[in-house]
Chain A
């Protein structure tokens, strides 16, 4: 494999980075189709697009993780070949991934020294690294203690470690992949200030996002990708949210139908004085009591980590509650209650961590169809799998949910996040669904998939399915829920009818005020 080669110097005063006709295909799918982009010195460029639009592919090409099939990359006007991540680093490209590459047992300074080829390996000059970290963080106004143990850092602080790591390797082009997805509002605005400060010093930034507010908060220019093509490029001053949304989705999104008007049906789920414990033994939430009827949507609102995951796991029979009683369809949960049995009786779960808990990423779509129905009669005859039924059903989900996949033989990993979620949801709907626990079902998805999934939920409700919607998006909850249960400060509030409360009341409960 040839190293990064730089050839044919061209006149200066060109953009820092130019992409000309970048194309990358995976099978029949063109992930990047003839993309041309330019990035000026000290410019902040937003890269906007729905899931599967080709943003990640493009960035992985820049990071040296994949090679394009066609097209050229010019850095400071010179043709560059980025065949490996170290080529990207030596060309001054720094990447901050959504999932951080941090060794939790090492300190901040040690993490930043790790893998830095410009440092003398023995003896390691950690004090020099510390000084460099301080210099960078002071310039940017991003506080970061070089000696902190990374395992104890918040997500926002871990992201800072990644940014400082890139800058300590003299990155001139910094790529941030969905940086605000994991941040609180305050942390996000801190990040934006730092990005602006960086741009002042001449560093160019590419910010990948599907949040319009991020784009308007910090970007000078924005390029919109759709289905692998660049469909729109404009200065942020010359556009507005509506224009960008239209460019992103390419069609109008129909708002989901309004609230249910039929009375709720049969009582399906009843919780009485349930207390839930976290993995580390601490109590996540105490005193959860509610009932859920067929044909209604009950939302569980709250900031993440307040017991929502534990609630879903307890109802799904994955872990018994610390105290209290759970009754599904007239039968009390006991220690012997099996997830598989509950699934067979129509209680299904779309897990919040869909990647790790909801699918087998290295298996095909048709094999994934079996994951939560392995013992359904539809797929299983006395221990022998009916693979053809699974393949047919996967095919049906692909067609009904408009999943972008080459075929049902495609590996789950090859799908975009939105398409993966459609496959998971489609699988859970199969064959006798009565109660669906949907944990953050639209998180991290593109606008159109969000609308699609929300429409599905309403559809299910109208068909008499009971839905427990766990969400931290108040807008979503307000639009779709019939009643709201709020987790906050270790307690459960409600449930209360949506029409009988106000967002500010819910917000106060979420913040833990009684």
Chain B
């Protein structure tokens, strides 16, 4: 135990390594208890996700919305705002993106695409910003509000694709296909991997710079650490609280827009489900450092893609993947804490 504490205190890599091994151990335990062979499960998981070009490209496809939404969660978390409503903001971003695309189909691509993407960002920003306003103005818990707004968003989507945005044939609950001009091109023929990957990486750089080098980033950190000190410093106003959740929602909205533009091509009932919740884990695993968010997102993408293999090859039921995700998050949280204690003596 002491040797372990020593190691944790000395090497920054010891914590994540410990978490990795701990997570593997407990995942193996759960799979064994569930009556499956853990080694076969692990190999199925890895071969499905990382064993082929197609698998890897699927992992990257999944990484894109997780990265964008994870960045959003990170921004809010810096101000100690807990945005649990990523899914609702993704949906509103997607609706705004598609709505904008279908509204101006005659515009040329180089104009329509940025316009629609901005609409998507604004859609998410409005949905997050509402929670921000309620929090700043009435001190309503942003956790509750963002959860509730997600339910509203789900219903809003269901209505939109059966009402104003439904395809003209009126058969399926889905929208018309978006104009070709606002679809994101594929990076790899025969796969689903699209240019959104670079949007996600660009957003990572932008958020990293914004948090580290701008007064906005400083305001978030100040409010997050001490609302009173921020207020006395003249930077603790409501605008910052609202803005933190609006920017957070905007990034999730961007994820929704990119997901539609790159993968689905139109609105339908179920897309990117659960992304907003997994993105919380992504942000925590990245320790609220935006530069680590893509890496953290890729890890969860491996899990989520690999689980398809578990199901297909071994018949392991799907809910187990949620348990596995939970174990990964807990392992990293515990390891982070142990490491901090070791460093602080």
Chain A residues with a Cβ under 8 A of chain B: 1, 66-67, 316-318, 338-343, 349, 351, 353, 356-363, 367, 370-372, 374-375, 380, 383-385, 387
Contacts and interface: CB of A to CB of B under 8 A. Distances in A.
A442 to B, nearest CB: 19
B108 interface: no
Given A372-B233, A384-B213, 12 more contacts: A1-B1, A318-B231, A339-B231, A339-B233, A342-B234, A360-B226, A363-B225, A370-B218, A374-B218, A383-B214, A383-B215, A387-B213
A66 B234 contact: no
Contact of A383 (B2, B216, B232): B216
26 contacts: A1-B2, A67-B345, A318-B231, A338-B234, A338-B237, A340-B233, A353-B228, A356-B226, A357-B226, A357-B228, A357-B229, A357-B231, A358-B229, A360-B221, A360-B225, A360-B226, A360-B229, A361-B225, A371-B229, A371-B233, A374-B218, A374-B233, A383-B214, A383-B216, A385-B214, A387-B213
B233 A385 contact: no
B235 interface: yes
A266 to B, nearest CB: 24
Given A370-B218, A375-B215, A339 B2 contact: no
Interface in B206-247: 213-216, 218-219, 221-222, 225-226, 228-235, 237
Contacts of B225: 360-363
Nearest to A360: B225
A339 B218 contact: no
Interface of B: 1-2, 213-216, 218-219, 221-222, 225-226, 228-235, 237, 345
Nearest to A312: B232
Nearest to A363: B225
A387 B221 CA distance: 15
A380 B234 contact: no
B232 A339 contact: yes
A1 B214 CA distance: 43
Contacts of A385: 213-215, 218
B221 A318 contact: no
Contacts of B215: 374-375, 380, 383-385
The 4 A-B pairs at the shortest CB distance, nearest first, are namely A340-B234, A339-B234, A371-B233, A372-B233
A70 to B, nearest CB: 14
A384 B217 CA distance: 10
Contacts of B232: 316, 318, 339, 349, 351, 357-358, 372
Nearest to B235: A374
Contact of A359 (B229, B231, B237): B229
Nearest to A343: B234
Contacts of B230: 371
A371 B214 contact: no
A206 B148 CA distance: 55
A372 B228 contact: no
Contacts of B226: 356-357, 359-361
B48 to A, nearest CB: 42
B191 to A, nearest CB: 39
A407 B225 CA distance: 22
A384 B214 contact: yes
A511 B102 CA distance: 74
B214 A363 contact: no
Contacts of B213: 384-385, 387
A342 to B, nearest CB: 8
Contacts of A372: 232-234
A342 B230 CA distance: 15
Contacts of B237: 338
A317 B221 CA distance: 22
B205 to A, nearest CB: 15
Contacts of A380: 215
A356 B228 contact: yes
A340 B2 contact: no
A350 to B, nearest CB: 10
Nearest to A317: B234
A343 B231 CA distance: 12
A339 B233 CA distance: 7
For B228, B233, B235, B237, which residue has the most chain A Cβ atoms within 10 angstroms? B233
A421 to B, nearest CB: 14
A240 B231 CA distance: 45
B289 to A, nearest CB: 15
A270 to B, nearest CB: 22
Of B2, B230, B232, B345, most buried by chain A (CB within 10 Å of CB) is: B232
A367 B221 CA distance: 10
Nearest to B217: A385
B230 to A, nearest CB: 8
Given A67-B345, A339-B234, A384-B213, A374 B229 contact: no
Nearest to B236: A339
A94 to B, nearest CB: 24
Nearest to B226: A360
Given A340-B234, A383-B214, A374 B219 contact: yes
A370 to B, nearest CB: 6
Name the residue among A339, A342, A351, A353 with the largest chain B CB count within 10 angstroms.
A339
A353 B345 CA distance: 29
A371 B237 CA distance: 14
A370 B221 CA distance: 12
Contacts of B345: 66-67
Nearest to A356: B228
Contacts of A342: 234
A351 B219 CA distance: 19
B313 to A, nearest CB: 44
A316 B233 CA distance: 10
A504 B242 CA distance: 52
Nearest to B1: A1
Nearest to A386: B213
A358 B222 CA distance: 11
A58 B235 CA distance: 37
Contact of A360 (B1, B222, B231): B222
Contacts of A349: 232
Contacts of A363: 221, 225
Contacts of B228: 353, 356-357
A371 B222 contact: yes
A99 to B, nearest CB: 16
Contacts of B235: 340, 371, 374-375
A340 B215 CA distance: 13
B288 to A, nearest CB: 13
A282 B314 CA distance: 69
A349 B232 CA distance: 8
A1 B342 CA distance: 12
